[in-house]
Amino acid sequence: MEQEIRPFILSENNWHHLKDFRYDLAVLPWGATEAHNYHLPYGTDNYEGESLAAEAARYAWEAGGKLVVLPVIPFGVNTGQSDIYLDINLNPSTQMAILEDIISTLNRQGIKKLLIFNSHGGNDFKPLVRELGLKFPEMWICFSNWFQAMDRSEYFEEAGDHADELETSLMLHLKPELVLPRSTWGEGIAKEHRIGAFKEGWAWAERKWSEISADTGVGDPHAATAEKGERYFKATTKKIGQFMLELCKADTTRLYQ
């Protein structure tokens, strides 16, 4: 069966359509290339970000939103994983330069709303969005973390934040052919900080990933199933789709009541 060209996905689009079409909102998925326990692919964050953004955008598009999903940026901040083979680090200052170039294009061409669709915990867009907002006063820039959109305890049994039950379930749903068999799955046991303030979360220091986890995972993946992944994917994309639609329709000069 032939797949249809999705008008809300830039990489599938063509000049025939875009010569005269205009969007209100651009969505930029931003992932990472890094080890995900033993069993998930290095591109996990990119597959997740692309798939979630595309499905949410479909929801918003079908409800009348004029939005376009840009190609995923496949490298993220991996400063804490410098000794993990082929984890490719992009420094925050490099992210700033990439964002500034993309925003310059959007600003010049009249797409004044941008949602940075973050898919990787190590990416921190807040200081970047603050600075770029000052530099481009006509642009309205925001970011989201899809992995914080839902109450995960309604979908998953185990806690975790990297290659855990959530991510393994999602990948079993989205790309089962890229998930290694259960016998390879590590426990995802993460060591805790000896100093209390870091454990409590009011002090922060970079985690040296290779010292906190033997298999690179944080969170036990063993309760993961494709069914859990599908249920979570559907609920999350619906919620994010509604958010994207709101962004498309929002009058950014009247955001507060």
Give CA–CA dist 34/111, Å, rounded. 32
Give CA–CA dist 118/1, Å, rounded. 32
Closest CB to Zn ion among 55 and 167? 167
Of 38-46, 52-60, 85-93, 245-253, the window that binds Zn ion (rule: CB under 5 A) is: 38-46
Q: Report if residue 45 touches Zn ion, rule: CB under 5 A.
A: yes
Smallest separation (angstroms) from Zn ion to the CB of 233: 15
Which residues pair with residue 30 across a beta bridge?
73, 118
Closest CB to Zn ion among 106 and 170? 170
Closest CB to Zn ion among 46 and 107? 46
Smallest separation (angstroms) from Zn ion to the CB of 167: 5
Instruction: Give the tokens for residue 124.
Output: 């921190």
Q: Report if residue 215 touches Zn ion, rule: CB under 5 A.
A: no
User: For the purposes of burial, counting CB atoms within 10 Å of the CB of 253, is it exposed (0-12), middle (13-18) or buried (19 or more)?
Assistant: exposed
Smallest separation (angstroms) from Zn ion to the CB of 195: 26
SS3 call for 114? strand
Residue whose Cβ sits closest to Zn ion: 45
Give CA–CA dist 229/52, Å, rounded. 12
Of 36-44, 50-58, 87-95, 239-247, the window that binds Zn ion (rule: CB under 5 A) is: 36-44
Of 40-48, 102-110, 136-144, 242-250, the window that binds Zn ion (rule: CB under 5 A) is: 40-48
Q: Report if residue 50 touches Zn ion, rule: CB under 5 A.
A: no
- Cβ atoms of 171 and 232 within 8 Å: the answer is no
Smallest separation (angstroms) from Zn ion to the CB of 163: 6
Give CA–CA dist 11/82, Å, rounded. 31
Q: Which residues of 157-191 are buried (b: 16+ CB within 10 A; e: fewer)?
A: ebebebbbbbbbbbbbbbbeeebeeeeebbebebe
Instruction: Count the site residues for Zn ion by CB under 5 A.
Output: 2
Of 43-51, 69-77, 90-98, 241-249, the window that binds Zn ion (rule: CB under 5 A) is: 43-51
Closest CB to Zn ion among 113 and 162? 162
Question: Which stretches of the chain bind Zn ion, using CB under 5 A?
Answer: 44-45
